[in-house]
Amino acid sequence: MSVQNLEQASEVPTVNSDNVQPEASEEFVCTPLVESLADRASAYLDAGYPVHLAGPAGTGKTTLAFHAAAKRGRPVKLIHGNDEFGVADLVGQDNGYRRNTLVDNYIHSVVKTEEEVRTFWIDNRVTTACINGETLIYDEFNRSRPEVNNLFLSILGEGILNLPNRRHQGAGYLQVHPEFRVIFTSNPEEYAGTHKTQDALMDRMITMKIGHYDRETEIRVTQAKSGLPASEAAIVVDIVRELRGQSVNHHRPTLRACIAIARVMASRKLSARADNTFFRDICRDILDMDSAKVRRDGNSLTESPADEVIARISGRSRRPKAVEAES
């Protein structure tokens, strides 16, 4: 699901005009692994449960969330978690005033003036999604403070959204539409800027652990996002996957690194060759931060820890078959 495709999707008339009906992009890669994840998420949503996609950055959680949301055929709203969020940023707040003035001059010698000032409430995205039965994607929700996300406890548990400040428009709560669903995504708690989520909220959702995709999926995604031939994309993916396996937590480098290298290669019409200096340099620029810190020895840079992997995999892929057979 590409951002461009999301923005171009046809809008569905609702209370709030910022919701869209997502459609699959031509670049979306649906391998058996991706489809199995999407089918499980769809099954949980169809049964009425919120879905939580948990995993490291760069594993395609947001894209998978949009794919699962698209299967429901309902309008979608997107929220990105933010440490600065308050409850009003999710549900709405009083926004401005209305002043009504009535001048009664029925009796010429008597002027009676009545003035009334009232605030008016503006719904925000969680409220409109609950009213219209939309699918809400709450991306990286654990970047918002836990006390802000407490509002989902009654939404997911009792199907009620508490809105005490909205009483002047009716009751202080709303009955949640039966078609309303939520897909949460989160990064691991050790990531900077994330918060530990309250157990009561976690108990109300079904958590799917999302790891890095298999080799086939990563090659197809890299190829689709860059336009490289599959054989070239495979070399890039193999380099990234090996360096990922050597890292401390096996989270980085991610698929984003594969796509970045492949796009630069495609723009310069490069081949993944060990003897191509420019290819090695862009791999180092993109991968060094994830593989190790670069140390300075006088005025020269020491050899990158990624160099051996780059040379070995790209060199091995270019060896003549006769040489490969002898080795």
Q: Which helix (H) or strand (E) holds 56?
A: none
pLDDT of residue 124: 78
Going by pLDDT thresholds of 50, 70 and 90, the confidence category of residue 103 is low
pLDDT of residue 122: 76
Going by pLDDT thresholds of 50, 70 and 90, the confidence category of residue 247 is confident
Assign residue 227 a region: left if phi > 0, alpha if psi is -120 to 50, beta otherwise?
left
Predicted confidence (pLDDT) at residue 38 exceeds the cutoff of 80 = yes
Question: Which amino acid appears at position 118 of this protein?
Answer: R
pLDDT of residue 221: 93
Q: How confident is the model over 196-224, as a mean pLDDT?
A: 95
Distance CA 198, CA 185 (A): 15
Nearest CA to 3 among 36, 35, 34, 25? 25
Distance CA 156, CA 171 (A): 19
- Per residue in 45-85, pLDDT (tens digit) is 999 999 999 999 989 899 999 999 999 999 999 999 999 99
pLDDT of residue 251: 83
Averaged confidence pLDDT in the chain: 81
Q: Give this prediction's pTM.
A: 0.76
Where do runs of H (alpha helix) occur along 47-158? 61-72, 87-91, 125-132, 146-149, 151-158
Number of H helices, E strands in the chain: 14, 11
Burial class (CB in 10 A: 0-12, 13-18, 19+), 68: buried
CATH superfamily of 3-83+124-209: P-loop containing nucleotide triphosphate hydrolases (3.40.50.300)
Q: How far lies 159's CA from each of 18, 102, 128, 162, 305, in Å?
A: 23, 42, 14, 10, 53
Distance CA 163, CA 75 (A): 23
Of 132-146, 157-171, 301-315, the one with minimum mean pLDDT is: 157-171
Predicted confidence (pLDDT) at residue 205 exceeds the cutoff of 80 = yes
CB–CB of 37/208 below 8 Å?
yes
* Locus of tokens 């009561």: 200
What is the secondary structure of 129-188 as a DSSP string? HHHHTPEEEEETGGGS-HHHHTHHHHHHHHSEEE-GGGGGGS-SEEEPPTT-EEEEEE--
- Per residue in 150-203, pLDDT (tens digit) is 999 999 999 999 886 655 555 678 899 999 999 999 999 888 899 999 999 999
- Per residue in 3-36, pLDDT (tens digit) is 333 333 333 333 345 666 666 566 678 888 989 9
- Tell me which of 105 and 125 has the higher pLDDT: 125
